[in-house]
Amino acid sequence: MVTGAAGFVGSHVAEAFADAGHEVLAVDALARSPAPELARRTWEQVTARPGVTGLEVDLAVDGLDAVAAADVVVHLAGRPGVRSSWGAGRAAAERDNVLATGRLLAACMERSVLRGVGDRPPTGKRSGPRGVRGRTPTRKRPARPLVIVASSSSVYGSAGHRPHREDDPLNPASPYAVSKVEVERLAGLAARDGLRTVLLRYFSVYGPRQRPDMAFHRFVEAALDGRPLPVFGDGRRSRSFTHVEDVVAATLAAAGADLPPGIAVNVGHPEAVAVRSAIGMLTGVLGVRPEIRREAPVAGDAARTWADPGRAERLLGWTARTGLAEGLADQIAWHRALRAREVRV
């Protein structure tokens, strides 16, 4: 089960599980997306994929029967975004991050502790890797699913002279970051009750289908329109920009790993790059020299996010492989492909 499957990260994760031969229940509310039109288009692509079943449901109010069929729940549904969380997005962050995650975890905890391999899921719907259904039960396995929960580098606040490690103190600086800390706490409580939860702290993800409110998306669209690039602050902020294919690889690795319940793992590129350097690369790939339009810095936006990838390397055998220039070229190709089909996002 992949929640948030109409979204940026969730759509890639759902497709990757399906491509790896798993049966995927893709879940999303669509109308809860900050970009509902893009979510609808993405949803149509994802649910057309062989092996993917779509379920449109709002996890803050419904849809929890669906967890009965899942061996692994990858919970990517939620309301992202630091900037919007100071305004109208704040209630959405509380509802779609904290409330929805709490309900989902409770539903997973309600499942009994063991079931036999081959027991049919209550809905009788497809579940888990192909080939498991219908076998004679020979051994017991956990009936409760492994639950992988999306967290964020924003729980750390800003990095100092070294990258953030998972056991660093948390220092959230925006309502969004506070909601993610709360999500982490809920997952920790569920882990204490024996639910296998894993927290993946994603760092500034980019690539095809990136959300329209995110920096590279805004920069590429502005550059392709011939408009000045809207930059919050002076461009000195730096980020462990991480390509979505690397994020997918880490997420799939977490689904296959035997990790201690409640553990947090950084999913971030080990190099922090300044926004203005990234703009230099991006405009280099585009072959343009656009103007920059400076906008007021966003409260709570970390001066630097920087991932220490050591735990991910040790426990998941994962490291980010995509360099920024290569990854940006990939994202730009996606924007161009949409425009060629006269789709604006």
Ligand X SMILES: NC(=O)c1ccc[n+]([C@@H]2O[C@H](COP(=O)([O-])OP(=O)(O)OC[C@H]3O[C@@H](n4cnc5c(N)ncnc54)[C@H](O)[C@@H]3O)[C@@H](O)[C@H]2O)c1
Interface pick for ligand X out of 69, 85, 196, 202 (rule CB under 6 A):
202
Q: Binding of ligand X at residue 177 (CB under 6 A)?
A: no
Among 2, 69, 70, 77, binds ligand X (CB under 6 A): 77
Q: How are the residues of the chain apportioned to helix, strand and coil, as percentages rounded to the nearest 5?
A: 40, 20, 45
User: In one letter, which amino acid is 4?
Assistant: G
Closest residue to ligand X, based on beta-carbon distance: 7
**Contacting residues for 163 by C-beta, under 8 A, at least 6 apart:** 240, 270, 272, 306, 307, 308, 309
C-beta closer to ligand X: residue 7 or 262: 7
Query: On the CB side of 231, how many CA atoms lie within 13 Å of its CA?
Result: 21
Cβ atoms 106, 33 nearer than 8 A: no
The only residue of 47, 158, 174, 204 in contact with ligand X, by rule CB under 6 A: 204
Q: Which residue's CB is nearer to ligand X, number 79 or number 144? A: 79
Any contact of residue 14 with ligand X (CB under 6 A)?
A: no
Residue nearer to ligand X on the CB measure, 158 or 204: 204
Nearer to ligand X, 187 or 290 (CB): 187
CA distances from 4 to 28, 80, 171, 183 (A): 5, 11, 26, 15
Q: How far is CA 135 from CA 67, 88, 256, 305, in A?
A: 21, 50, 21, 47
Per CB under 6 A, contacts with ligand X among 121-160 are 150, 152
- Report if residue 100 touches ligand X, rule: CB under 6 A: yes
Subset of 256-285 contacting ligand X (CB under 6 A): none
- Residue 28 interacts with ligand X (CB under 6 A): yes or no: yes
Residues that bind ligand X (CB under 6 A): 3-4, 6-10, 28-30, 32-34, 39, 58-60, 76-80, 96, 100, 150, 152, 202, 204-205, 211
